[in-house]
Structure formats: C-alpha cells, structure tokens
Structure 1
Amino acid sequence: MPHTLLVTYDIADDDRRSEVSDFLAAHGARVQYSVFEVTLPTKKAVQQLRGRLRKLIDREEDQIRLYPLQASVLNEKMILGNRRLEERADFWIV
C-alpha cells in the first residue's frame, strides 16, 4: 500500500533550500513553492526520506513538516484557482 505525504518546508538558507527542493522533486510533485505531494511505496521508504531530509537541514534554523494523507483525503481534495506549478503525471522513459 503506497504512502502519500504532504511535505512543507521553511528553509532559511538558499543552498539548503535548493537541496531540499531538488530532493523532494525527485520523489514527488511540487504543488506550491514550498509544498510537495510525495507518494512512496513502503513505510521503510518514508523512513528513508525522513532520514535524508534530516541530514539536509539545519535543525536550529529550518523546519520540514510531513503530513500523511489518507486515500479519502486525496480523492476529495479541492483546488481553488487555475495556476499550476507542476502536475505530476506518471510516465515511462524507454
């Protein structure tokens, strides 16, 4: 069963912010400037993501929040406004 997280961050340093953003972009869709929806296949993958994020930040200056999302929440999400930063579409590269 996949695990979907809403990940938000407030990173004080530009370089750290860029690293966190790039790391999250490799795992999910950016839905706002500091917000990603990340879906991972296992609980272990979630733990690995958390561990890597811990290493990327300064715990005194930065904050990352991870909110687990249930399937029912994802099915009922509401989006107000037409602006889109990125739409995640599953695709295959051959």
Structure 2
Amino acid sequence: MMDLLLTYDVDTTDPGGARRLRRVAKLCEGYGLRVQKSVFEIVADEADFLRLLARIDEIIDTERDSVRIYRLPHHGLAAVQTCGTARLESHRDDLIV
C-alpha cells in the first residue's frame, strides 16, 4: 500500500469544466478522504493507483486542468500535522460509504 496526496485544479470557466470538476471530485471520493476542497489523502495499492490515473485521464482536459499526485513515505499520512479546523483522519480503517 502507498500513501498519496492528490490535488487538482479544474478550469471551471465553462459548463464543461464544472462537469469535469464534479466528476474528478466524485472519483476521488471513491479512493480516499477529502481533506480540503480539491485535496485528497489516499491509501492505495498499485492496481488501484493505476486505475485512478486512467480514470482521471479520461475525465480531465489535459490542456486546461491540472492533477498532481504525491507519493508520500510509507505511512506518511500518519505524520500529518494540522492547524485550525483541520482534523486528522484514519486512512487505514474501513470506510463507510
């Protein structure tokens, strides 16, 4: 399993962008925890990671949108420090959808 930090910036200056934004967000919700509006913390195996990349590539406009995925050190999500209203979440417990 790998710890990932996924961020995205979808150009929403047209109706197609708004649709892409919703689709990317919904996709990411199926893989990890939303910790900010366009930021997800994800724990995935290699197969899930590759499926996620393929699905993102199908959704976004590669000329206008940006997705960044950072591979963190093993169990890197357990070492997150927060300030303000941010809360620590458990990434390896069962998720209830």
TM exceeds 0.5? yes
Q: Give, in whole Å, the separation in 2 of the partners of 1:52 and 1:19.
A: 10
Partner of 1:32: 36
Secondary structure at the counterpart of residue 17 of structure 1? helix
CA contact (8 A) 2:35 2:86 kept: no
Specify the SS of the correspondent of 1:82.
coil
Task: Choose from 70, 73, 89 the match for 1:70.
Answer: 73
Distance 1:48 1:16 in 2: 17
Listed as ranges, the gaps of 5+ residues in structure 2 are: 12-16
TM-score, normalised by the number of residues in structure 2:
0.80
- Pair 1:7–1:55, CA change in 2 (3 A): same
- Measured in 1, the distance between the counterparts of 2:95 and 2:39 equals 24
Cross-structure match for 1:4: 3
2:49 is matched with which residue: 39, 46, 50? 46
Taking the aligned partners of 1:64 and 1:43, their CA distance within structure 2 comes to 18
| Structure 1 ranges of 4+ moved more than 4 A | 86-89
Measured on the aligned residues, the alpha-carbon RMSD in Å equals 2.2
Separation (CA, whole Å) in 1 of partners of 2:95 and 2:57: 30
Cα distance change, pair 51–78 in 1 and its aligned pair in 2 (3 A): same
The share of aligned pairs that are identical, in percent, is 33
Q: Distance in 2 between matches of 1:51 and 1:76?
A: 29
Deviations 1:10-62 (A, max 9, x none): 0011110000000000111000000001111x212211111111111000010
Unaligned runs of 5+ in 1: none
Q: Does 1:21 align with 2:20?
A: no
